[in-house]
Structures are given as C-alpha cells and as structure tokens.
Amino acid sequence: MTALRTATGNLGSDQTSATQRGAHLSLLSLAVFFSFSLGLVFLASATGVAQIPPARKKNAPPPGAEPPPVSLEEAAKLEAVITTDMGVIRFEFFPTKAPKHVQAFVKNARAGYYDGSAFHRVISLGIIQGGDPLLKDPKTPRARWGSGGLSSLPDEFSDVKHVTGTVSTVRIPGKANSGGPQFFICASAQTALDGQYSAFGQVTEGIDVVDKISQAEADDEQKLKTPVKIISLKIEAKREEPFKDASVDEMRKEVLLRTSLGDITVALEPELAPEHVRSFLKLVQTGWYDHTIFHRIVPGFVVQGGMGQGRTGSEMHYADKWIRPLKGEFSQTRKHIRGVLSMARTNDPDSALTSFFIVLAPAANLDGKYSIFGKVVDGFDVLDQIERAPRNGETPVQRIELIEASIKP
C-alpha cells in the first residue's frame, strides 16, 4: 500500500485503466503538448515582446548578496508543499540526480516565486504543467501562458524514469539548456520523456489532487479554461515516520478509540507483537484511523475495523506510504478471549496491513494464527453496544465510526 500508483494500477476503489489515465502517451502528442506551451517563447520574440525580469522585492538582498544555495544534504531532507485551490501536493527531491534544478527550485520557492502562479496546461490523467510566473498576473494573455522564465537552467538528464508522480522541468523541445522554473508532474507513466527532461522530484502525497487537476476542463490547446491557482508553494522538512525506531518500552502505550457509540481504551502489548504495535501507533499518531468505520460485526466472535475504504472524505492519506505488510507475530501463550485486540489478515500469514479486530468471546480457532497486540482495558459497555448494533449480515446497518484514535498521555 503506498501513496503513489504505477501506470497500470492504483489504490482503493478507483478502477481507472492505464489507457484512461493517459499512460504511454505517444511521443507526438507529448511533443505537441510541450510545443504548444513552450513554442510561445519564440512567438514572443518574433513579435517583439520582451521578457522583463521581475522587480526585486522591497528589502530583498541586492544581487550577489543572496543566501547560498541549499546543500544537497539538506535538500534530501526537504519536501515541497504545493497548496492549490484543488488540494495539496507534496513531493520530495532528487538532489543527486538534478542538483542545480533542486537548488533553483528550493531557492525560488523560499522566495515566494511560485505563490500566486498556477497550473495552466494538462493532459487528462497524463501531465499537469505549472509554475509560469506570468500566470501571477490575471491579465497575461492566454497566448503567453507557458512562455515565462525559460532558458535559465542547464539540462540534467538522468536515469530517473517519468513514472506516476515524477516532477520534472519544462524545457523547449530540441533546445539544450532551456529549462527554468516551470515544472510538470506526471499523473501516469510517460516513458517518452525519459532522458529528455530533467526529473528532480517525486510526489509523496496528493497524487489524487494531480489527477483532479489533470481532468479539469481544457481547450483544444490543452490550456485550462480556468487555471488552477497555486496559492502557496513552501519548503518543509520531510514528514518522519512515527515510532520507526521506538523501543519496546517506548511503545508501551494506551490508545483511546473515540467511536460514535462511546469510548474504548486499549492497552498495547509490544512484547507480544512489536512490529504490529509499531504500525498501529504510527497510524494512530498520523490520524490514519480517524473517521474510518467498524465495518464488520459477528456477535459472539469479533468486531472489525481499520480499513481506509471506510474513511470519510478521501480514502488516501499521507501515511499510506508507510503501510507495509506485517510478518506474523503469533503468540503461543496468549489466547483470543473477550477484549483481545488482534490484527486481521488474508490467508497469507504475513499479509496484515491496517485492519484490526476486537474479540467478543473466546475464539480458540484464532490462537497462534493471528497477531495479538493489545487488549481492551476500558469501555466494555461500548463494545457491548457495537456487538448489539443492527446488522445486515455482518455489516452494520448504521455507520459506526471511529471518530478519532489518540495516544493517551
């Protein structure tokens, strides 16, 4: 389970095919896309329209006094956060693959260069293009969209592939060293661009937002009828995976499950299943479980929850990238009795991901086959209410929501 998708598959219930997503767009169609966008710089020159460098901001340091570029070591620990009027996209950098592009992008973003610009050109489920400073001015003629800030960076072609989520620099096709601050993000794999454009980043969160932008209404030249505004583009430290290196003692926590029927407190037992506890705490701390549901009730057996498909809003979450199959940690001494917290899985003993269950009555058939990682210590009355909830088969008739899961102090 990851935040990103390949060209031939994706997460959740979205069954969009690779063809529908614009995967493997022909070289001709891509050339037309970028030629429409980038050839305008020649039109501007031919008609005598000069590109005037932006005025220096008030109190900005004079030329030659700018801070040194971000080091490659620091850049590897950073992410770009693009806030648009359709949602947020985050991406990490490839400083060893395109150091000059990464340094220029970080410098520009920190100076507010991209704030107020826009994504202006798309291929549906293929590519979105943005970052042209000319889009900051709503009066800029559509004919000039895509022509700003070019020919300021050298090419840094590498072995990085243009897969779903790759961030790369816009350039004039066929013209060396013509890249600049404009960039594009792949909504699906674009193999025709490999080795021809300077890829410098990879989306870590918000690929669903990339999809949404790519499907906005566009004209025959693939320009959006209404550009998608980049409200801000900030540079932040990468999100760190919680509890990644926590010891058993550090993971000995109680978690409050605030449900739509009341509160349940569970005590985690990392000495039994340390990796299952680590994963559970990670998802609790990041809010991954919030607004999911208890989707299965079997009276006298279990109540089960913890799947992203039931989350209100979006099924995608930034912590998806940290979800990995868990190797079974089966206890030979602890039994599945009422109140035990255990992890659901498929027939593969090493397939547990996020879904957990609470045992309602002794279930010897689960002993030694499912990973026990905690127990209910408070809220048995709420567990009783969940067990008695009206059902259609094993599915609750009314939504029983895990409103919030939080680690108790």
Give the pLDDT of residue 58: 55
Question: How confident is the model over 255-280, as a mean pLDDT?
Answer: 98
CATH number for the domain harbouring residue 324 = 2.40.100.10
In a domain, 243, yes or no: no
At which of 185, 202, 237 does a domain end?
A: 237
Check whether residue 168 and residue 225 sit in a common domain.
Answer: yes
Look at residues 214, 237, 260 and tell me which one is the last residue of a structural domain: 237
- Does 393 reside within a domain? yes
The domain boundary residue, chosen from 189, 204, 237: 237
Same domain, 217 and 149: yes
| End-to-end Cα distance, the chain | 30
- Please indicate, yes or no, if residue 356 is contained in any of the structural domains: yes
- CB-based contacts of 14, cutoff 8 Å, min separation 6: none
Q: Which of 280, 267, 269 is nearest to 376 (CA)?
A: 267
Domains: count for the chain? 2
In a domain, 18, yes or no: no
Of the two residues 45 and 53, the one the predictor is more confident about is: 53
Regarding whether 273 and 194 lie in a shared domain, the answer is no
Return d(Cα 399, Cα 116) in angstroms, integer: 41
The rounded distance, in Å, linking the Cα atoms of 397 and 399 is: 7
Residue 114 located in a structural domain: yes
Residues 263 and 360 in one domain: yes
Question: Are 208 and 341 part of one and the same domain?
Answer: no
In a domain, 46, yes or no: yes
Strands in 211-318 per DSSP E: 223-237, 254-259, 262-268, 292-298, 302-305
pLDDT digits (tens, 9 = 90+) for 348-405: 999 999 999 999 999 999 999 999 999 999 999 999 999 999 999 999 999 999 999 9
Same domain, yes or no: 221 and 369: no
Residue type, 74: E
Check whether residue 223 and residue 262 sit in a common domain: no
Give the mean model confidence (pLDDT) for residues 157-174: 96
Residue-wise pLDDT for 90-137, tens only, equals 999 999 999 999 999 999 999 999 999 999 999 999 999 999 999 999
Confidence category of residue 312, pLDDT binned at 50, 70, 90: confident
Residues 200, 285, single domain; the answer is no
Q: How far apart are CA 238 and CA 281, in angstroms?
A: 19
Question: Which DSSP state fits 61?
Answer: P
Q: Are residues 201 and 347 in the same domain?
A: no
* Residue 196 shares a structural domain with residue 130: yes
The dihedrals phi and psi of 135, each to the nearest 5 degrees, come to -75, -5
CA pair distance 379, 376, nearest whole angstrom? 7
pTM, full prediction: 0.72
Q: State whether 323 and 274 are in the same domain.
A: yes
pLDDT in tens, 12-37: 223 334 344 444 455 545 655 665 55
Dihedral-angle region of residue 212 (phi above 0 means left; psi in -120 to 50 means alpha; beta otherwise)? alpha
Q: Is the pLDDT of residue 322 over 90?
A: yes
Domain assignment present for 88:
yes
**Range of 59's domain?**
27-237
- Per-residue confidence band for 63, with pLDDT thresholds at 50, 70 and 90: low
Q: 268 or 62: which carries more pLDDT confidence?
A: 268
Q: Is there a single domain that holds both residue 170 and residue 148?
A: yes
Q: Which residues 6+ apart lie within 8 Å of 217 measured at CB? A: 224, 225, 226
Handedness of CA 247, 249, 250, 252 (dihedral sign): positive
Q: Assess if residue 21 is contained within a domain.
A: no
